[in-house]
Amino acid sequence: IVSKLPSVGTTIFTKMSALAAEKGAINLSQGFPDFPPDARLLARASQALLTGNNQYSPMTGLPLLRDTVAGLIERHYDRKVSALDEITITSGASEAIFDAIAAIIHQGDEVILFDPAYDLYEPAVTLAGGVCKRVTLMAPDFRPDWHAFEKLLTDQTRLVLINTPHNPTGSCWTQQDLDCLWQAIESREIYVLSDEVYEFIYFGKSIVSVHKHAELAARSFVVSSFGKSFHLTGWKVGYVVAPPALTAELRKVHQFVTFCTATPLQQALAEHLRELPEESTALAAFYQRKRDVLRNALADSRFTLLPCEGTYFQLLDYSDISDLDDVAFCEWLIDEVGVAAIPISVFYQHPPENQRVIRLCFAKEESTLLDAAQRLSQL
Ligand code: PMP
Ligand code: GLN
C-alpha cells in the first residue's frame, strides 16, 4: 500500500501511555484526568442512556445542547451566535478540526502552524492535499514572532491554525497577538482555525479568545471540547462555532464523517450545563491549585520550571540533569524514575537544537502529583 501519511507513526500519547502501563510508571504523559467527573453529570448520562433517546441526534447536534452552548458563549465572551447555523456538535474537538480542514483546504493550499503544534493538525492538512508552513516557538516563553509569520504568507495561504491556551507549552496568547494576526491576514482570503479546547483552564486575568475579536471571529472556526472542561476525555463531545457560510461547508463534511455525536451524552451535557451554568468558570481555580502543588513540590528539584499560563500541562527543562534528547530522556525516566512524561520535540518539524524540555500533565489527584514530584526530585 502506498501510504498517504508515510512519515506518521503511532501518536506519542499512545506510545507513552502504553509504556507507562507496561512499566508501572506514574502516568503524567497523555493528558487526561485520573479523577472522576461530577457524579451528577454521570447520573444524568446514565438516566439518558436508560430512559432517553438512544438513536441518532440531529446531524448538527441536539438543539438543547446547541442552545446551551450559545448561552455559554454569550455569557463568557459577550458574543451572540446562532445555535441554528453557527454551532455544530462534533465527536470531540478532533473531529471538528478534521472537518474544518477537510472542508476548506484545496490541493496545494498552504496552512500556517505554530510549532510545537498539536499532533493532529499536520496529518489533517496533508490528507486534504494542503501543505504546512511553520512559525517556530521556543522556550522559555514560546512567543510568536509576527514578522516571521508575515514572511510565510503567500497567495496560496488559506488557513492559519492557532491554539491558545497552548498544548504542549502551557503558554497563552495576548490580545495583541490576535490583533497582529488580524492585521496580517485582513486583506487576504485567509481563514483561521482557533483550537480553544483549554479555554477555561487559564491562569491570567481574562481569557484571550477569538470569540472576543469580532473581525477574526467572522473568519474563524473556534473549536472547544467538553472533554477538557468536564473531565471527560473519553466522551469525545466537542463543538465548533463558525459563521454560517463556514459552518455550512463544515457540516457537509461532518454529516459524512460521523453524522452525529452520541445522543445520550449530548443530552446529559446540555442538562448539566443548564443546571450549573457557572461550573466551567471554576475550572481555572481548580487547575491552578494543581499546577501550584506540582510546581511547589518540584521547586527544589534540578528541573527548571517553565511558565505555565494555561492548560493542564507543565513544562520542565532538564538541561541540568541530562544530555539525552527528550525522547530518550522520557524513556529513561519511565525506566529509572517511574514517571511518564511527553517529549515536546515530537510536536516540531524542526525541533530547536539543545532544547531539553518535557511536558507533565497535572490533571491528576494531588497525591499522584506529589508521588511523581518526589520521584523526580531524587534526580
Ligand atoms: N486540540 C488540543 C490542543 C488538544 O489538546 C486536544 C486534546 N487531546 C484536542 C484538540 C482534541 O480534543 P478532543 O479529545 O475533544 O477530540
Ligand atoms: N490531548 C491529549 C494530550 O495532549 C491527548 C489526546 C490523545 O491522546 N489523542 O495529551
Q: What pLDDT, in 10s, does the model give residues 82-98?
A: 999 999 999 999 999 99
User: Where, residue-wise, is CATH 3.90.1150.10 in the chain?
Assistant: 12-37+281-377
> What one-letter code names the amino acid at 24?
G
For domain 12-37+281-377, the question of CATH label 3.40.1370.10 is answered with no
Beta bridge partners of 90: 238
Angle value at C-alpha 232, between 279 and 13, nearest 5 degrees: 130
- Closest ligand 1 atom to residue 118 Cα is 3
Q: Which ligand is nearest to the CA of 16?
A: 2
Tens of pLDDT, residues 291-323: 999 999 999 999 999 999 999 999 999 999 999
Q: How far apart are the first and last CA of the chain?
A: 46
Task: Select 39-278's CATH number: 1.10.10.10, 3.30.750.24, 1.10.1040.10, 3.40.640.10.
Answer: 3.40.640.10
Tell me how far apart the alpha carbons of residues 268 and 367 are, in angstroms, rounded to a whole number: 30
Tell me how far apart the alpha carbons of residues 109 and 130 are, in angstroms, rounded to a whole number: 5
How much is the average pLDDT of 106-133? 98
pLDDT at 278 over 80: no
Q: What is the pTM of this model?
A: 0.97
* Cell 511553520 belongs to residue: 134
CA 69 from chain centre, in angstroms, equals 18
What confidence score (pLDDT) does residue 245 get?
98
pLDDT grade, residue 134 (50/70/90)?
Answer: very high
- Decide: 194 in ligand 1 pocket, CB within 6 A: no
Ranking 60-74, 277-291, 302-316 by mean pLDDT, the lowest is 277-291
pLDDT at 121 over 80: yes
Q: What does pLDDT average to over the chain? A: 96
In the reported structure, the alpha carbon of residue 224 is separated from the centroid of ligand 1 by a whole-number distance in angstroms of 8
In the reported structure, the alpha carbon of residue 206 is separated from the centroid of ligand 1 by a whole-number distance in angstroms of 22
In the reported structure, the alpha carbon of residue 31 is separated from the centroid of ligand 2 by a whole-number distance in angstroms of 5
Q: What is the percentage of the chain residues whose pLDDT exceeds 90?
A: 97
Residues with CB under 6 A from ligand 2: 11, 13, 30-31, 167
- Best residue for ligand 1 mutational test, from 163, 228, 229, 344 (most atoms within 8 Å of Cβ): 228
C-alpha cell at position 99: 472537518
- Closest ligand 2 atom to residue 94 Cα is 9
Q: Which ligand is nearest to the CA of 199?
A: 1
- Closest ligand 1 atom to residue 97 Cα is 10
Is the distance from CB of 224 to CB of 76 less than 8 angstroms? no
C-alpha cell at position 307: 511558565
User: Where, residue-wise, is CATH 3.40.640.10 in the chain?
Assistant: 39-278
CA 89 from chain centre, in angstroms, equals 16
